[in-house]
Amino acid sequence: MMPTLMISPRSFVRTVVLGAVLGLTSVSAYAQSAPFTGMAGVWSGNGTISLEDGSKERIRCKATYAVSGDGTGLNQSLLCASDSYKFELKSDVKARGGELSGSWAETTRGVTGSLEGRASAGRFNVDVSSPAFSAKLILTTTGNKQQVSITSDGQFRGASISLNRS
């Protein structure tokens, strides 16, 4: 029998933020004036979450993106799961002149937060926050593939995730 990783409610919230970050910042390398152009559809993949105690766990994610007609707005639904938990996120992100901003909500726990960042040449640097958590994210998009790296000083230490568009 495989051991179950116990995650405190605070760690769960931080893991939810990971999912939000993943989904909210899944933007492509299109022009900065319309960075979400071409993002509509389904993306999926997996990666690893690292926790404060040094443990790691694999995570699987599936995101559905709806993009505004002008390519500057993104609505996202993200479902992520590991062997010991799952969460669902909804988000709304806007882009203006290379600047990203938005909000997210983990629908099963009622947790909310915001994000701010910059987009440049397919590389996205984002700061994510909520009242009890903050993280830095770097996302790089090449064609139909995305690589996400997240770091934090809390119980949730980081993640490395790869996504592919279906």
User: What tokens were used for 14?
Assistant: 């931080």
Q: What is the pLDDT of residue 72?
A: 84
Rg, the chain, Cα only: 15
pLDDT for res 14: 46
Q: What is the pLDDT along the chain (166 residues), one digit of tens a residue?
A: 433 334 444 443 444 444 444 444 443 334 457 777 777 889 899 988 887 888 888 999 888 889 899 988 888 887 877 777 667 778 888 989 889 999 977 787 677 899 898 877 667 787 878 887 777 888 777 788 888 788 877 777 878 889 999 8
Q: Is 44 exposed, middle or buried (0-12, 13-18, 19+ CB in 10 A)?
A: middle
148 burial level (CB within 10 Å; 0-12, 13-18, 19+): buried
pLDDT value at position 64? 83
Cα distance between residue 42 and residue 55, in whole Å: 30
- pLDDT given for residue 150 in this prediction: 82
